[in-house]
Amino acid sequence: MQVVTLITTPTERNLDAALVDNLRNAWGGGDANWLAVDEAAEFAVPVVPDNQWDVWADLQNACVDLVVQPLEGRRKKMLLADMDSTMIRQECIDELAAEAGVGAHVADITARAMNGELDFEAALIERVGLLKGLPEAMIEQVLDERISYMPGGYELVNTMKANGAYAALVSGGFTAFTARVAAALGFDENRANTLLVADGQLTGEVARPILGKAAKVEALETITQQRGISAADVLAVGDGANDLGMLSLAGTGVALHAKPTVQAQCDVRINHGDLTALLFLQGYSRDDFVT
């Protein structure tokens, strides 16, 4: 049995009941269950519809995300999340670079790396090198003034944790940022790269080994083993090419507002909903959310 979930932008809340009923009838689905009024609904279908992606494309034009997944086992025991442009709205290295006066150049490298056009590790080394001499105190200033959280992140982490799940933040960014973000949102642990500092300034170097695509997969494998669960029990979320390994390995891998090359390789894509969409995908209603 499969479950079809329809989710729209939480700020607009304009999911049309007639649209849900028409699709349910066309696909021979069961009764519609509204997870949030005018925002998210689901219904069961016996098999994956042949025209799933044609309908998905049409619904994207109406600002509606469509996900079809197995009904059984969709509520997960672990959340594995990327940080930059996923749990927060920004890319931390781009914000540091802006303070260092090399913002546009670094942002271009970041965008290409996240789209899979550049080797992640080489691109990170190049970008960190451009931060050489930046005062270490600038990290706190950037955190205070330039970083904002993606809507729904607190609800996602804490609703899953209230239902027994474990939450890990794993980033190709930097521990100075993941520590603050993880603490604010309630993650159980965080892993990232470490910026090297000497005499109160960034050296332009990052500690080795560099945490990239392979390290995110390793985090999934080691944490699940430690907790006695399997990759099928994991919900992973990210937006960049360095997230593809963990997204493909996880039971549910969500491409959240992701780069086109990333979306093309993921069956679960959220482009209009916020992070609470990941709760709707697991069958939680808005009334279940921990806020």
Show pLDDT as tens, one digit a residue, over the chain (291 residues).
999 999 999 998 899 999 999 999 999 999 999 999 999 999 999 999 999 999 999 999 999 999 999 999 999 999 999 999 999 999 999 999 999 899 999 999 999 988 899 999 999 999 999 999 999 999 999 999 999 999 999 999 999 999 999 999 999 999 999 999 999 999 999 999 999 999 999 999 999 999 888 999 999 999 999 999 999 999 999 999 999 999 999 999 999 999 889 999 999 999 999 999 999 999 999 999 999
Give the CATH number, domain containing residue 60: 3.30.70
66 shares its domain with 79: no
- Domain total in the chain: 2
What integer pLDDT is reported at residue 12 of this predicted model? 87
115 shares its domain with 241: yes
The predicted model scores a pTM of 0.96
Catalytic residue among 16, 58, 65, 82: 82
Alpha carbon separation from 245 to 77, 120, 219, 237 (Å, rounded): 19, 13, 11, 11
Domain end point (choices 72, 104, 121): 72
What integer pLDDT is reported at residue 212 of this predicted model? 85
Domain end point (choices 17, 51, 72): 72
DSSP string for residues in the chain = -EEEEEEE-TTT----HHHHHHHHHHTT----EEEETTTEEEEEESS--TTHHHHHHHHHHTTEEEEEEESTT-S-SEEEE--TTTTBSS-HHHHHHHHHT-HHHHHHHHHHHHTTSS-HHHHHHHHHHTTTT-BTHHHHHHHHHT--BPTTHHHHHHHHHHTT-EEEEEEEEEHHHHHHHHHHHT-SEEEEE-EEEETTEEEEEEPSSP--HHHHHHHHHHHHHHHT--GGGEEEEE-SGGGHHHHHHSSEEEEES--HHHHTT-SEEESSS-TTHHHHTTT--GGG---
84 is catalytic: yes
What integer pLDDT is reported at residue 89 of this predicted model? 96
82 is catalytic: yes
What integer pLDDT is reported at residue 169 of this predicted model? 98
138 shares its domain with 194: yes
55 shares its domain with 192: no
66 shares its domain with 42: yes
The per-residue b/e assignment along 129-149, b for 16 or more CB within 10 angstroms, e otherwise, is ebbeebeeebbeebbeebbee
132 shares its domain with 222: yes
106 shares its domain with 43: no
Domain end point (choices 28, 43, 72): 72
What integer pLDDT is reported at residue 222 of this predicted model? 98
**Whether the bond into 46 is cis, omega within 30 of 0:** no
179 shares its domain with 86: yes
131 shares its domain with 173: yes
Catalytic residue among 84, 94, 267, 274: 84
85 shares its domain with 224: yes
226 shares its domain with 168: yes
Domain housing 27: 1-72
Give the CATH number, domain containing residue 208: 3.40.50.1000
165 shares its domain with 84: yes
